[in-house]
Chain A
Amino acid sequence: MSALVDEELLEHAPHDTSLPRVAPHRTGEITQHLRTPKTLWCPGCSNGIVTRALIDAVLALELDPDRTCVIAGIGCAGRITAYLNWSTVHTAHGRALALATGAKSADPGLNVIVVMGDGDCVAIGGNHLIHAARRNIDVTAIVFNNSIYGMTGGQMSPTTFEGDLSTTSVYGNVEQAFDICELARAAGATYVARGTSYNYLRLAQLIAGGIAHKGFSFVEAMVACPTYYGRQNGVADPAEMLKVQKARAVPVDEFDHDGPRLRDRYPVGVLHHAERREYTAAYADVVRRAQAESRG
């Protein structure tokens, strides 16, 4: 997990002054927040990079670890719950945002971070995504998008690019891939960002921006799955896959929104930021009104 955090890379990471400042923490500080140094993620998998970015973001914001919980679904990304040493919930497949809605509503002071894979988030859990975004509940959802079902061995997902190969699209995928940031924005998310595991510190900053935002924040982390996506699609080298991310990622203010998207290039950075009344705050008003009426 430490290989990518070299000083050279950090100096190249652009700093966005509108976002919280995130400095990388020492590996020793990071591992204090892990239950175990061992993961079941494959060699070359980017999930560890995003995990580190998440820990860096939480530390930078000085969140109380006791009051921070991570709720995740099923799939490779969901296994983060067994590694992080905070309150963690490994839910049923696709249901992380539903559980998060309940947990945040029952305890609005809790910092709720949701981790999902792409299949988890926009296939089986897609309905929960659009409604959590619509409610604008103060939860930070991070999607580890590797464009494939890794845990089950490489089947196509809703973010597999058209034409790509998988064990269930052996003639090439005929379906259009979801732009899940666009979906989240259209559904009402008030903070939408995309980052890459190539640009680790920038990703940590985007995650921190999402956690600091009051409302539903959505961060898509592009991750590489060399084992199941790369090998089937001719880029099995993890470093090469990260370079592909670098080549495709275009800062949002330089991005041509009328041009081709996703497979060839995608905007990164804070794609959308708006202020709108947050759900649990709005409900607290309901409680005040209901209690005043029932007393009156």
Chain B
Amino acid sequence: MPQPRRLVEGNEAVAEGAIAAGARFFAGYPITPSTEIAEVLSRRLPQVGGHFVQMEDEIASIGAVIGASLAGAKALTATSGPGFSLMQESIGYASMAQVPCVIVDVMRGGPSTGLPTEPSQGDVMQARWGTHGEHSIIALVPSSVAECFSLTVEAFNLSEAYRTPVILLSDATIGHMREAVALPTRDELRVAERGEPDVEPDDYDDVMSTVDNIMPRPALGSRYAVHVTGLVYDRSRGGVPSTGTPSVAEGLGLYLREKIYHHRDAIARVEELEMEDAEVAIFAYGSVARSARAAMKWARRQGVKVGLVRPITLWPFPMAAVDHMAEQVRTIIVPEMNLKQMSWEVQAAVGGRAKVVDHGRIDGKLIRPEEIQNLIRREFYYHHFEETA
């Protein structure tokens, strides 16, 4: 039976989603606008036998999360821009060492201390490329309170399935917004469990994992004497460091990339609205997608064919959906609370097949529907609009 509808804050929904996903460990450091996630989990985790710890900084927080995950717990941390920057090295470690974990970044204006209480989407490229070196990553972007819950569950499922860090890119607006939702109960959800590899300790070698069959790593303190390292390692020899053999380094790097890229069409989730006959598409994510939806509805009322493509998965980039959109529409409007970060990515994917119009804001204010409506009017300059924008 679903829980009754009630007013839930976005950050609270993330915390409840984590509990529902089976997360039993949180380590974090207070930072606006993510702090409520820590506050809620400090109360909720011990109730379900889990563990909450407030660490000395964000570097320690992601470190503790990785340690807890290696010991067998589903684990997460939550932060905002400055903390997300501090975590980058260990996000790379989790990627290299294939440690499932979830990092929630409630985006605020930056760089540096920036605009602590105002929303931004300035971290979308940092989520993709923030840590050094070639790596792949999964990042999800909620645009409602209900999605703060469901995408947190999804983030854990993906992190377990692909043994990778997954980033949930919320923002100050989504995190602090309250909506009436009925949060699903555990039995209404698909929750991935970690399990043990299907081989005896002496036979365990991670090389038996393939991009189509990623075995779980046994927990520390199990019968398997695992070795975990951030160095390049040889999957065929118990994961021991191997830095002198180029083919081992290349093989590992390609495996780490392909285990996610090979599945990107399965991972990538996109919501498409009114796209069947659209001549112009809006590509918008997170809180901006809410304004984009309002602008799209306004346009439809005015009799012009505008659709919305809302990536729920930002990374890996939803290439198939963008490709399809590029074949169909003449213009793609990309409003975002940064200066062209995803717009460049869309432009590269579109490759000249459609015009890409960017619209950025970095003043800490949400993009209003009217701003997008004005961009739509320009694309339909020959049309008589009854309502002003």
Contacts and interface: CB of A to CB of B under 8 A. Distances in A.
Interface of A: 35-36, 65-69, 71, 81-82, 85-92, 95, 98-107, 109-111, 127-128, 130-131, 283, 286-287, 289-291, 293-294
B93 A105 contact: no
B273 interface: no
Nearest to B237: A35
A77 to B, nearest CB: 14
A107 B71 contact: yes
Contact of B238 (A35, A65, A103, A286): A35
A113 to B, nearest CB: 12
A98 B49 contact: no
Contacts of A82: 227, 229, 240-241
B133 interface: no
B90 A95 contact: yes
A98 B229 contact: no
Given A81-B227, A91-B230, 19 more contacts: A35-B227, A36-B240, A66-B223, A87-B224, A89-B229, A95-B59, A98-B67, A99-B70, A102-B25, A103-B67, A105-B25, A106-B73, A106-B75, A107-B219, A131-B55, A283-B51, A289-B46, A290-B43, A291-B46
B47 interface: yes
A108 to B, nearest CB: 9
Interface string B93-105: 1000000000000
B228 interface: yes
A21 to B, nearest CB: 26
A98 B25 contact: no
A36 B66 CA distance: 26
B205 interface: no
21 contacts: A36-B240, A67-B221, A71-B67, A82-B229, A82-B241, A91-B63, A92-B93, A92-B230, A95-B90, A99-B63, A99-B70, A101-B63, A102-B68, A102-B75, A104-B67, A105-B25, A107-B73, A128-B56, A131-B60, A291-B46, A291-B49
Interface of B: 24-25, 27, 43, 46-47, 49, 51, 53, 55-57, 59-73, 75, 89-90, 93, 219-231, 238, 240-241
Contacts of A101: 27, 53, 55, 60, 63-64, 67
Given A103-B67, A105-B64, A69 B221 contact: yes
B66 A99 contact: yes
A68 B225 CA distance: 9
A82 to B, nearest CB: 6
B63 A106 contact: no
Given A66-B221, A106-B71, A286 B46 contact: yes
B49 A287 contact: yes
B228 to A, nearest CB: 4
A103 B233 CA distance: 22
A229 B93 CA distance: 30
B64 A102 contact: yes
Contacts of A111: 221
Contacts of A287: 46, 49, 51
Interface of B is mostly: mixed
A232 B71 CA distance: 42
A111 B220 CA distance: 10
B163 to A, nearest CB: 15
A89 B240 contact: no
Contacts of B89: 92
B225 A102 contact: no
Contacts of B57: 127
Contacts of B43: 290
Given A131-B55, A287-B49, A102 B241 contact: no
Given A35-B238, A89-B220, A291-B46, A98 B231 contact: no
Given A35-B238, A82-B240, A106-B25, A88 B68 contact: no
Contacts of A106: 24-25, 51, 67-69, 71-73, 75
Contacts of A71: 67
Contact of A103 (B61, B220, B231, B240): B220
A139 to B, nearest CB: 10
B230 to A, nearest CB: 6
B189 to A, nearest CB: 21
Contacts of B64: 98-99, 101-102, 105
B231 to A, nearest CB: 7
A85 B221 CA distance: 12
A291 to B, nearest CB: 6
Contacts of B69: 102, 106
A105 B68 contact: yes
Nearest to B228: A89
Contacts of B66: 91, 99, 102
B230 A87 contact: no
A220 to B, nearest CB: 21
A188 B69 CA distance: 27
Contact of B67 (A66, A88, A100): A100
Contacts of A110: 71, 220-221
A27 to B, nearest CB: 20
A68 B221 CA distance: 6
Contacts of B47: 290-291, 293-294
A102 B219 CA distance: 13
A98 B55 contact: yes
